[in-house]
């Protein structure tokens, strides 16, 4: 019963926000048709970034695209919970293995067709150092060769881990919670990402009351 409830919540969010999710997907396609990897981040935790990652994966998969979610938030991994999978083996262990031949052993199928998950795995003692390894770049390259799109769930922008990932991926999408993040904080987020030579493709204003919505903006709400 618990599994069904959580799965239905994600599915309900995709249905409830179908139009907004399609707008985000379409507009990103206009900006970069060749995009293979996309990192989502935010200024602070709990702005809805991780939930948006899962919902976007399902939305892209509706186009018959093979999508991989990579949970790179070692300190607060949530994708395995949202998708009701195991976090026993994941990215942290793969990085320590340093062998692409083991990649398939760490990728899990989800309940959504064409959506797969590489969970964060157990918290390592040295997460930043693991991501700094050249092998992490090789993992991203290998997965973008296998999948149509790789969505990376990263920590907030101020974390060093996020800056490392931002420098590797094709594009970065920033999630901003309405009435929570101040302009100065958003500017700080942009500055940090620009220092990492990130290519920011856009911003998603999250948790917006429907009466405030405009067709000219990206909105996502849950």
Tens digit of each residue's pLDDT (9 = 90 or more) over 144-182? 999 999 999 999 999 999 999 999 999 999 999 888 888
pLDDT of residue 9: 84
HSE-CB at 146 with a 13 A cutoff on CA atoms is: 17
Contacts 24+ apart (CB under 8 A), 139-146: 139/91, 139/94, 139/95, 139/100, 139/103, 140/37, 140/70, 140/168, 140/169, 142/100, 142/103, 143/68, 143/70, 143/103, 143/118, 144/36, 144/37, 146/66, 146/68
Tens digit of each residue's pLDDT (9 = 90 or more) over 100-133? 988 999 999 999 999 999 999 999 999 999 999 9
The total of other beta-carbon atoms located within 10 Å of residue 95's CB is: 21
Residue 213 has pLDDT above 60, yes or no: no
d(CA 143, CA 79): 18
d(CA 90, CA 70): 9
Q: Identify the structural domains of the chain with CATH numbers, from first to last.
A: 2-220 (3.40.50.300)
User: What does pTM read for this prediction?
Assistant: 0.89
Q: Counting Cβ atoms within 10 Å, is residue 167 exposed (0-12), middle (13-18) or buried (19+)?
A: middle
First to last CA, the chain: 22
Find the range with the poorest average confidence among 5-19, 76-90, 127-141, 202-216.
Answer: 202-216
Residue 187 tokens, joined: 């500017």
Contact 67, 115 (CB under 8 A): yes
Tens digit of each residue's pLDDT (9 = 90 or more) over 68-101? 999 999 999 999 999 999 999 999 999 998 889 8
pLDDT over 70 percentage in the chain: 90
Question: Which residues 6+ apart lie within 8 Å of 147 measured at CB?
Answer: 66, 67, 68, 116
d(CA 143, CA 156): 23
Residue 5 has pLDDT above 70, yes or no: no
Contact 116, 108 (CB under 8 A): yes
Tens digit of each residue's pLDDT (9 = 90 or more) over 26-56? 988 888 889 999 999 999 998 889 999 999 9
- Coil, strand or helix: which one is 183? helix
In the block, residue with structure tokens 């795995």: 121
pLDDT tier at 14 (50, 70, 90 boundaries)? confident
pLDDT of residue 80: 96
């Amino acid at each position: 019963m618990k599994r069904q409830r959580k799965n239905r919540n994600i599915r309900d969010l995709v249905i409830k926000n179908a139009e907004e999710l399609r707008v985000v997907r379409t507009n990103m396609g206009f900006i970069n048709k060749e995009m293979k990897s996309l990192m989502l981040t935010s200024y602070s935790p709990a702005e809805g970034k991780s939930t948006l990652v899962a919902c976007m994966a399902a939305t892209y998969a509706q186009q018959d695209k093979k999508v991989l979610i990579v949970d790179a938030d070692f300190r607060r991994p949530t994708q395995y919970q949202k998708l009701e999978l195991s976090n026993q083996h994941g990215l942290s262990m793969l990085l320590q293995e340093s062998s692409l031949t083991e990649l398939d052993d760490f990728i899990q199928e989800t309940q959504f067709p064409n959506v797969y998950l590489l969970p964060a795995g157990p918290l390592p003692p040295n997460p930043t150092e693991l991501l700094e390894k050249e092998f992490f770049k090789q993992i991203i390259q290998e997965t973008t060769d296998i999948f149509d799109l790789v969505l990376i769930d990263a920590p907030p922008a101020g974390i060093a881990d996020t800056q490392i990932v931002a420098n590797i991926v094709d594009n970065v999408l920033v999630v901003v919670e309405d009435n929570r993040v101040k302009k100065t904080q958003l500017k700080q987020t942009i500055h940090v990402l620009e220092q990492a030579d990130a290519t920011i493709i856009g911003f998603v204003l999250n948790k917006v009351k429907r009466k405030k919505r405009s067709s000219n903006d990206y909105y996502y709400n849950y």
